[in-house]
Amino acid sequence: MTKRDLVIRISNETGLVQQQVLEVVQKTLDYIAQAVAQGKKVELRNFGVFEVKVRKARIGRNPNAPATDVPIPPRAVVKFKPGKEMREDVLKLTAQMTGKA
């Protein structure tokens, strides 16, 4: 699903003009991204949590020269933890994908 798909669905369900829906959706995403970029945790009840975690420094390997160690510095990454309802709905896919119901 793209942002455009989301805007069209919301517009069709609410009767709001697509341009207005797009502005609201974009502002929402902008505020979430801005908060996460500042290191803040964004918690959306019944959806999930976006937060910044710092990955530790580690030693990697260059596949073209396996004997050579490549230091990988620590870095901040965005993590998303789905809410309970989403997690349960996604788990249902496991049964569908494996053919078991």
Chain segment 4-50, per-residue pLDDT in tens? 999 999 999 999 999 999 999 999 999 999 999 999 999 999 899 99
List beta partners, residue 20: none
Across the strands, what pairs with 77?
53
pLDDT, tens digit, 9 for 90 and up, residues 72-93: 999 999 999 999 999 999 998 8
| Cα 20 from Cα 90, distance rounded (Å) | 31
What is the value of pTM for the model shown?
Answer: 0.77
How many C-beta atoms surround the C-beta of residue 15 within 10 A?
A: 6
